[in-house]
Structure 1
Amino acid sequence: MKQLSILLLAIALSACTKKEAPKTEKLTQYVNTFVGTDGPGNTYPGAVVPFGMVQLSPDNGIGGWDRIAGYFWPDSTIAGFSHTHLSGTGAGDMYDLLLFPTNSRFTDDLWPDQKAYRPYSKFSHENEEASPGYYKVMLESSEIEAELTTTERVGMHRYTFPENAESKIILDLGYALNWDAPTETTIKIENDHTISGVRKSTGWAKVQHMFFVAEFSKPFENIVLTPEADLQNNSEVGGKNARFETTFKTTEGEQILVKISLSSSSVEGARKNLQAELNHWDFDAVRTEADKKWEEQLASIKIEGSDYQKEVFYTNFYHLFLTPSLLSDVDGAYKGADQKPQVAKGFKRYDTFSLWDTYRAAHPLYTIVCPNEVQNMIQSMLAHYDETGLLPVWSMAGNETNMMIGYHAVPVIVDAYFKGLPMDAEQAYAACRASGMNKTEEMELYREYGYVPFNEEGENWSVSKTLEYAYDDWCIAQFAKALGKEQDYELFAQRADNWNNLYDEKTNFFRAKDVEGNFLEPFVSKEYTNVYCESNAWHYLFAAQHNIKGFRDLMGKERFTELLDSMFTYYPSAEDELPIFSTGMIGQYAHGNEPSHHVPFLYNFTDTPEKGQKYVREIIDTQYSNKPDGYCGNEDCGQMSAWYVFASLGFYPVNPANGIYYLGSPSLDEAVINLPNGKTFTVTAKNNKPENVYVKSVKLNGRILKNNFITHQQIIEGGELVFDMINVLK
């Protein structure tokens, strides 16, 4: 009897243990892919996997700045679902391969003023949902439910139709928005359920090739090709606006699926991608796998906090992994930046490098959470160098757009090198040096004068270019020194001081000079002129990221602190006309644009670091949210999101290439970074409350941290960083 009682007790305890076992928290539930689709964020809500080639998302079908990513939250129409999009940029490009289902219930001409008729559908956010790797919407004009998911290189559609004798699916290669325009399109009918072809286009990226193979789960019934074709004798059409339409008889609730694989190299490349990644019709399995990939990616940082904090954090973390995007096929083939066929051997070829933005925080964050992918990125940049003779500036779709300024692939490569990531150091250095010695007219002037003289005809962003070139030169100098290239080290170290050539000690600002060395007059620090890139003199005041101490000492610590204070308190007046990129303003600090992202952390170079802690928390609390307008500016391919992730953890890379992260004010109770090497680095904020924005003390692995920074090496070795937070500093 006693043994039976013990057995029953053991069973009861076992059942209790099983019942109380904690469930693994799904992190994807906290991601709101609609954040950034309203306001200036310019994000898209559709289906994509981390760094995927396919960005399958709805397009409202209307052009304009607010619809740069194809979709704008306030709109109420959908023109279809295209397979490529840019995340958070100011560039109206991509939108390849628009697919749209419709039927005879659709009778509205929603946009009668359009030059060429294209069906649109009304929709409501009440009948729309999305999560990482998945999107669903009810197309109200036809009562068709559309669902989207994706692998790396293949987009998958599932359309649930009502009963209708004229249900249709349309593939429109002539569809274009904003800067995008087709130059050559082809559609070929391969059999009764497969089509293939190419959409060649121009835009921001001048030569874009998107080859495809599309398979349908139901055989075609009636086919219409545009331009008109005799299908008995010709199964292929071309021109600038090729269009395919097939009609089906559908029963109530019938589902038709479509798989569209992409390739920049060839139709055969697209076919290989389809065969390798999606050789079945199980939509739910693809969606589950996409969710799994996102879950694994997001799990590299586990946080504790409120649901709201988790929603904002993981939504920002999600946006970090949308770019760079995959360019190479499963066999490595891709269209090179030299417009020739290329093959990536032993690495994934990435593109969509928004480096003027992402070198600042996104790429340093990648070195912590996904260093293996960083190796792919570095090899991709070096492939771009092999193809063009220079590193990428702002590359996408196998092109160099040369948008923005600097040669900021250099700090990305140098940072990775000093963090010990494998690379061919000699090739990498040669590529960095080539970019630093490029033969453009402005670089020749920069080398001659030690600054870029302003151009009276165009004014050419001369101040910004000088400061950013000097930073990149510093990076090359450190690389040269590490490799024992003393002559190069001396050359680039001297050039790294060129920021000082435009410093005006009377105003304490960097100002434009002509070839005679005269400052451009008149000068008003808050005015936006073309000598500053998307900025004014305030935004570039602290741009010597590689020598903040030298800049501080040049003007004196007291004046340095005064200018920092003024930056956050000198607000634009009602009469000031702010350009579209000056958003998220706190004084003259513009969080909606990148040049001043590091500035709040510069209080670590003063006697009042607590001021920076206050401003960091203010930016976290006021410039980000979990709503569709949750970004105060363009999300910019992960940079805005990377700032939030770093800042909420309590540190930030002021100089993105020296492996040092300066402390701020963590907003999270706890965060555990699950490092790829199997170790963990935990950040804890004791006494963390909304009002406790100041840091009383910091301990690293149980010892008081004497510095106001931590290093990359300390993070990857694992350990614990503990902030003790307080409300009022005594």
Structure 2
Amino acid sequence: MKQLSILFLAIALLACTKKETPNTENLTQYVNTFVGTDGPGNTYPGAVVPFGMVQLSPDNGIGGWDRIAGYFWPDSTIAGFSHTHLSGTGAGDMYDLLLFPTNSRFTDDLWPNQKAYRPYSKFSHEKEEASPGYYKVLLESSGIEAELTTTDRVGMHRYTFPEDVQSKIILDLGYALNWDAPTETTIKIENDHSISGVRKSTGWANVQHVFFVAEFSKPFENIALTPESDMQNDTEVSGKNARFETTFSTTEGEQILVKVALSSASVEGARRNMQAELNHWDFDAVRAAADKKWEEQLSSIRVEGSDYQKEVFYTNFYHLFLTPSLLSDVDGTYKGADQKPKVADGFKRYDTFSLWDTYRAAHPLYTIVCPDEVENMIQSILAHYDETGLLPVWSMAGNETNMMIGYHAVPVIVDAYFKGLPMNAEKAYAACRASGMNDSEEMELYRKYGYVPFSEKGENWSVSKTLEYAYDDWCIAQFAKTLGKEQDYALFSKRADNWKNLYDEKTNFFRAKDIDGNFLEPFVSKEYTNVYCESNAWHYLFAAQHNIEGFRDLMRKERFTELLDSMFTYYPAADDDLPIFSTGMIGQYAHGNEPSHHVPFLYNFTDQPEKGQKYVREIIETQYSNKPDGYCGNEDCGQMSAWYVFASMGFYPVNPANGVYYLGSPSLDEAIIDLPNGKTFTIKAENNSKENVYVQSVTLNGKALTENFITHQQLMEGGELIFTMSNSPK
């Protein structure tokens, strides 16, 4: 591949500290945190700071797929405000430490069939608002106004009460939704205004520990601890469903504030986090500080376009920074993936790595806009390797969930290495190799046969695994070559060609084989079977991201182009039974799921790049919006958003680990990337409009661009990329 040499050009490029760039306008005003809370997006609207440990957000209190993140726009109930949430996933977990204010006005129970009384309130979107780092709602059933904000590790609540002698604040550790279930909970009353404890739970992540310290601005008047417990006295209660309730007499408009500090390690860790981050009661100052953090994060890219375009862009850019999430305390302590106490020495330990999704575009985007945080991410990934012997697959809350497929921490590491980000290269390589040589997820069979054989047992995903393993193998091979490990380079280079072992030249699709090398029959390309991960044969048709030229040449360029055309024009039939993850369909292209996100840019490998420009712009215009249902599929921890950010600026990383960005059709008039080395990279689209989707010419720093891509090195050197747009192909 001619791009291989480009991979190594960026190795000497060193990351620098992010510069502070003055802003002339408030960018957080363009963020709509409710986008994704309707439809399949599965986001939450609450308060969080970039990569924060706390995700303080309202819960409707009802389970189900639509409420995976705790909140669903069509609902009209709020059961409380919990401190941890997942953004845009299909995993119903977290919802730790539910806090809820109530009073004597409304005593209905949202869970009447359960033993414990759990109140709720009606609410309306007309009396609800949110912005990055802030959430506010009127609980209409009680007349209480609730406001939320947060620091990195501490959530802050401000409740404005009406007059009532039975005003209450409840902390319910037994509250659980979806896959989450408490296993051990404890609450201890420390004095007349503070409590501490722990919620241990299981769910998608098997062993979750959330220690906490909560301080109240008003002394407790009356206290009740749940009687449903294994141990109870006047000051402490424990069991699966520990619950604390305090009653106050409040005057009209009286405000009571609560601060809740978290830790995965210990109560003392939570206490240190509280002392370090929030040793005062100034809610508005905390909110302003959270807004400032978001301003600094969002200001790394400044765009020009309509207000609508800015709203969609900055909302997507905002969602990029909700994960990974902080796991370590202010002193570095955290619960490791081996369930033992650990200390992150000199780095911030992150978790919530949805790598099957985010390796594709989110992590390459991080290397541009926040390389310092990428260093923390790489060290966190390697810490997971220290703790478990393997790189993470899909890790969260100090656990490995082993969800999805591949060992996609590898491209994240390799991409960062070739972009010059500091790391212990030998250790990083050892970790990559260990994951590439392990025997889990049918890797032993993959090494034996050169592909994963079909099996009727469960979600075999044999074709998808083979293709994704081959891509990761290519990444390891490039890493090995640079480090002079020639034997490994030869081994993994050979394995990187394993995609060819499942290619059927008669159908031009990747198909499942049994252990004898026979293709599985019958074969219908649009059928969703257990050999493709959340996909069909169309979605994985172009999955050899590391060798698109080789795949194209294998089937001939003409056929390659025909299949690209068919992918966007062969629509499902009306009676096709599409699975829940097949959304955002344009023909067989499913933008609502990740495997084919790079496909529109593959027209750059044909003689008709204008077709890709048309489809990129169509996806931008039809699959994203600034409304609550503004995502066509799960937002997936930043990947769906990263696609938009890249595509709207006019380029995308087809191969996420080779430092090459292929051109598309920029929808924004201008985007200025403030690079961490003090330079800027400006992208302009001249004569741009909704109709002018075709690129007539491109210049880089005043010179005609002769290739249909730019490199990471070119981008980091700063300069100006100018597209000239037209309403007809070149």
Q: Distance in 2 between matches of 1:111 and 1:265?
A: 32
- CA, structure 1 residues 456+229, in 2 after alignment: closer, same or farther (shift >3 Å)? closer
Aligned-partner SS, 2:171: strand
1:529 corresponding residue in structure 2: 529
- Amino acid across the alignment from 2:506: K
1:664 corresponding residue in structure 2: 664
Aligned-partner SS, 2:239: coil
Q: Distance in 2 between matches of 1:83 and 1:632?
A: 26
Q: Distance in 2 between matches of 1:23 and 1:568?
A: 40
Q: Does 1:342 align with 2:342?
A: yes
Which aligned runs of 4 or more in structure 1 are off by greater than 2 angstroms?
107-117, 227-234, 456-459
User: How do residues 259-274 of structure 1 correspond to structure 2 at under 5 angstroms?
Assistant: 259-274=259-274
2:249 corresponding residue in structure 1: 249
Aligned length: 709
Contact 1:270 1:329 in 2 (8 A): yes
2:288 corresponding residue in structure 1: 288
1:579 is displaced (CA, Å) by 0.1
**TM-score normalised by the chain length of structure 1:** 0.96
Contact 2:200 2:208 in 1 (8 A): yes
Q: Distance in 2 between matches of 1:595 and 1:64?
A: 25
Q: Which has the higher contact order (CA 8 A, sep 6+)?
A: 2
2:12 corresponding residue in structure 1: none
1:44 is displaced (CA, Å) by 0.1
User: How do residues 515-594 of structure 1 correspond to structure 2 at under 5 angstroms?
Assistant: 515-594=515-594
Q: Distance in 2 between matches of 1:651 and 1:428?
A: 29
2:729 corresponding residue in structure 1: 729
Contact 2:686 2:722 in 1 (8 A): yes
User: How do residues 283-682 of structure 1 correspond to structure 2 at under 5 angstroms?
Assistant: 283-440=283-440, 442-458=442-458, 460-682=460-682
Task: Could you tell me which runs of 5 or more consecutive residues in structure 1 were left unpaired when the two chains were aligned.
Answer: 1-21
1:497-519 residue CA offsets vs partner (Å, 9 max, x unmatched): 00000000000000000000000
- CA, structure 1 residues 508+115, in 2 after alignment: closer, same or farther (shift >3 Å)? farther
**TM-score normalised by the chain length of structure 2:** 0.96
1:229 is displaced (CA, Å) by 8.8
2:121 corresponding residue in structure 1: 121
- Amino acid across the alignment from 2:205: A
Aligned-partner SS, 2:365: helix
Q: Distance in 2 between matches of 1:330 and 1:464?
A: 40
- CA, structure 1 residues 481+138, in 2 after alignment: closer, same or farther (shift >3 Å)? same
1:302-345 residue CA offsets vs partner (Å, 9 max, x unmatched): 00000000000000000000000000000000000000000000
Aligned-partner SS, 1:58: strand
Q: Does 1:699 align with 2:699?
A: yes
Q: Does 1:143 align with 2:143?
A: yes
Q: Which moved more, 1:222-231 or 1:712-721?
A: 222-231
1:275 corresponding residue in structure 2: 275
- RMSD of the alignment, in Å? 1.3
1:228 is displaced (CA, Å) by 6.5
Q: Which moved more, 1:178-187 or 1:233-242?
A: 233-242
- Amino acid across the alignment from 1:528: Y
1:228-268 residue CA offsets vs partner (Å, 9 max, x unmatched): 79999641110000000000000000000000000000000
Contact 2:526 2:536 in 1 (8 A): yes
Q: Distance in 2 between matches of 1:580 and 1:637?
A: 18
Task: Could you tell me which runs of 5 or more consecutive residues in structure 2 were left unpaired when the two chains were aligned.
Answer: 1-21
Q: Distance in 1 between matches of 2:704 and 2:490?
A: 38
1:106 is displaced (CA, Å) by 1.4
1:227 is displaced (CA, Å) by 2.4
- CA, structure 1 residues 144+497, in 2 after alignment: closer, same or farther (shift >3 Å)? same
Contact 2:230 2:239 in 1 (8 A): no
1:548-590 residue CA offsets vs partner (Å, 9 max, x unmatched): 0000000000000000000000000011000000000000000
- CA, structure 1 residues 109+339, in 2 after alignment: closer, same or farther (shift >3 Å)? closer
Q: Distance in 2 between matches of 1:24 and 1:129?
A: 24
1:110 is displaced (CA, Å) by 4.7
Between the two proteins, what is the percent identity of the paired residues? 89
2:94 corresponding residue in structure 1: 94
Q: Distance in 2 between matches of 1:171 and 1:232?
A: 16
Q: Distance in 2 between matches of 1:68 and 1:136?
A: 21
Q: Distance in 1 between matches of 2:612 and 2:415?
A: 25
1:166 corresponding residue in structure 2: 166
User: How do residues 20-35 of structure 1 correspond to structure 2 at under 5 angstroms?
Assistant: 24-35=24-35
1:9 corresponding residue in structure 2: none
- CA, structure 1 residues 214+462, in 2 after alignment: closer, same or farther (shift >3 Å)? same
1:115 is displaced (CA, Å) by 5.5
Contact 2:23 2:299 in 1 (8 A): no
Aligned-partner SS, 2:190: strand
Q: Distance in 2 between matches of 1:229 and 1:621?
A: 54
- CA, structure 1 residues 230+113, in 2 after alignment: closer, same or farther (shift >3 Å)? closer
Q: Distance in 1 between matches of 2:231 and 2:205?
A: 34
- Amino acid across the alignment from 1:589: Y
Contact 2:61 2:110 in 1 (8 A): no
2:212 corresponding residue in structure 1: 212
- Amino acid across the alignment from 1:667: S
- Amino acid across the alignment from 2:464: S
Q: Distance in 2 between matches of 1:654 and 1:648?
A: 15
- Amino acid across the alignment from 1:352: T
Q: Which moved more, 1:253-262 or 1:234-243?
A: 234-243
- CA, structure 1 residues 114+632, in 2 after alignment: closer, same or farther (shift >3 Å)? farther
- Amino acid across the alignment from 2:306: S
2:152 corresponding residue in structure 1: 152
1:4 corresponding residue in structure 2: none
Contact 2:600 2:615 in 1 (8 A): yes
Contact 1:229 1:235 in 2 (8 A): no
1:256-296 residue CA offsets vs partner (Å, 9 max, x unmatched): 00000000000000000000000000000000000000000
Aligned-partner SS, 1:317: helix
- CA, structure 1 residues 696+233, in 2 after alignment: closer, same or farther (shift >3 Å)? closer
- Amino acid across the alignment from 2:534: E
1:373 is displaced (CA, Å) by 0.2
1:185 corresponding residue in structure 2: 185
